[in-house]
């Protein structure tokens, strides 16, 4: 194990009874080098005579999770820590979770997701172009670079860590997320307020421009399809042309204006990949409408037209999620299963 200057953030540790608090700290004391900083919030430092390696320090805590952790990160940086560790819980089994990862940079160790965690994390991923598996995990290691970003934010609530993923991602700071298959699902429920806060706060400048450019491309797509059909063009041809207009306008605006990706050849390669991804749902739609057209007389032309337009909108929505998750997700957040 490397020996960086490590600070262990333990807000609310003093809420545990004396026996559990002692057992947790002694478990860490066995493996950490002398002088390891432990930051506690509270009114007094627990007196545990058997501790020899840990240096217990109090820091002022805030009224909610985000504020407390920001203060803890700031205090750790002032004390010279290179890495700061937080904990999912203060059980003995979780005391040494961070030991295998101290040689890595920013780390998240994730438990199995609950349904609510999955929904919130995936929506947040789309809006912030992240790639997190479980943004709610509190088993984390922050580098000084990451801590400097987090302590300047105004993130708060139980969803603090979901929001912090987006803040680090926006700065291009890499995080490794270790997904432990054998870890049991986190039983703590995600509240509606925290879920909504996480989703809304993950919406940033790139998200705004992405939505704007997608809306423009979508309107161009619909306009071309309508115009083509009004001229009596073959439906699949109209759909493909509209899709290509959507693809080209969407890609160019996001590639060069929003994400500012450089390089002609790399952009050509990405455009080809982008085109394939957007054509997959279009091809499905053509097959679906072709099959449905056999029954036009049975369902009526008006209903057939309505179904066709709903199908086009569905294709656009599916394309949006496919493209967002595959094309524009940044490579800052790496997921590893062990």
Across the chain, mean pLDDT equals 84
pLDDT of residue 183: 62
Q: Please report which confidence band the pLDDT of residue 157 belongs to, taking 50, 70 and 90 as the band edges.
A: low
3-class state of residue 300 by DSSP = coil
Would you give the DSSP letter of residue 212? H
Average pLDDT over residues 61-75: 85
Q: How many CB atoms are closer than 10 A to CB 149?
A: 17
- Give 336 or 222, the one with higher predicted confidence: 336
Q: Please report which confidence band the pLDDT of residue 3 belongs to, taking 50, 70 and 90 as the band edges.
A: very low
pLDDT winner (highest mean) among 65-69, 144-148, 152-156: 144-148
Q: What is the pLDDT of residues 251-299, one digit of tens each?
A: 899 888 988 888 888 888 888 888 888 777 777 777 777 777 777 777 7
Average pLDDT over residues 219-228: 85
Average pLDDT over residues 56-79: 88
CA gap 190, 116 in Å, rounded? 6
Q: Identify which of 279, 271, 200, 198 has the alpha carbon closest to the alpha carbon of residue 236.
A: 279
* DSSP secondary structure string for all residues of 68-102: HHHHHHHHHHHTT-SEEEE-S---GGGTTTTGGGT
pLDDT of residue 336: 92
Portion of the chain with pLDDT greater than 90, in percent = 26
In this structure, the dihedral spanned by the alpha carbons of residues 229, 232, 237 and 242, taken in order and rounded to 10 degrees, is -30
Q: How many CB atoms are closer than 10 A to CB 132?
A: 23
* DSSP secondary structure string for all residues of 136-190: T---EEEEHHHHHHHTTS---STTHHHHHHHHHHHTT--EEEEE-TTSPPP-PPP
- Quick one: residue 143, left, alpha or beta (phi over 0 = left, psi -120 to 50 = alpha)? beta
pLDDT of residue 280: 78
For the cut 80, the answer to whether the pLDDT of residue 174 exceeds it is yes
pLDDT of residue 2: 42
Q: Please report which confidence band the pLDDT of residue 158 belongs to, taking 50, 70 and 90 as the band edges.
A: low
Residue 105, both tokens: 């940079």
Residue 269, both tokens: 């390669």
CA gap 19, 37 in Å, rounded? 21
Average pLDDT over residues 199-208: 82
């Amino acid at each position: 194990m490397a020996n960086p200057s490590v600070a262990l953030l333990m807000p609310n540790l003093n809420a545990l009874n004396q026996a559990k608090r002692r057992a947790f700290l002694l478990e860490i004391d066995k493996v950490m080098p002398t002088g390891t900083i432990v930051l506690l919030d509270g009114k007094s430092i627990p007196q545990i005579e058997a501790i020899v390696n840990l240096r217990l320090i109090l820091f002022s805590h805030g009224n909610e999770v985000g504020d407390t952790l920001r203060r803890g990160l700031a205090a750790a940086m002032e004390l010279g820590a290179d890495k700061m560790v937080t904990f999912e819980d203060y059980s003995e089994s979780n005391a040494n979770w961070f030991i295998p990862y101290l040689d890595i940079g920013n780390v998240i160790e994730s438990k199995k997701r609950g349904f609510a965690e999955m929904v919130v994390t995936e929506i947040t991923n789309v809006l912030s172009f992240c790639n997190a598996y479980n943004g709610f995990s509190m088993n984390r290691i922050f580098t000084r670079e990451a801590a400097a970003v987090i302590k300047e934010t105004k993130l708060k609530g139980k969803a603090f860590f979901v929001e912090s993923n987006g803040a680090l991602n926006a700065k291009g700071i890499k995080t490794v997320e270790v997904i432990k298959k054998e870890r049991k699902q986190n039983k703590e429920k995600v509240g509606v307020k925290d879920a909504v806060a996480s989703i809304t706060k993950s919406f940033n400048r790139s998200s705004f421009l992405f939505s704007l450019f997608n809306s423009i491309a979508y309107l161009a797509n619909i306009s071309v399809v309508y115009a083509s059909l009004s001229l009596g063009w073959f439906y699949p041809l109209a759909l493909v042309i509209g899709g290509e207009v959507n693809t080209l306008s969407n890609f160019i605006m996001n590639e060069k204006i929003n994400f500012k990706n450089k390089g002609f050849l790399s952009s050509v390669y990405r455009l080809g990949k982008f085109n394939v991804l957007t054509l997959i749902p279009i091809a499905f739609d053509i097959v679906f409408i072709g099959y449905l057209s056999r029954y036009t007389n049975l369902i009526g032309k008006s209903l057939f037209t309505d179904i066709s337009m709903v199908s086009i909108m569905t294709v656009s929505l599916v394309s949006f999620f496919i493209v967002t998750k595959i094309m524009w997700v940044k490579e800052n957040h790496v997921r590893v299963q062990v």
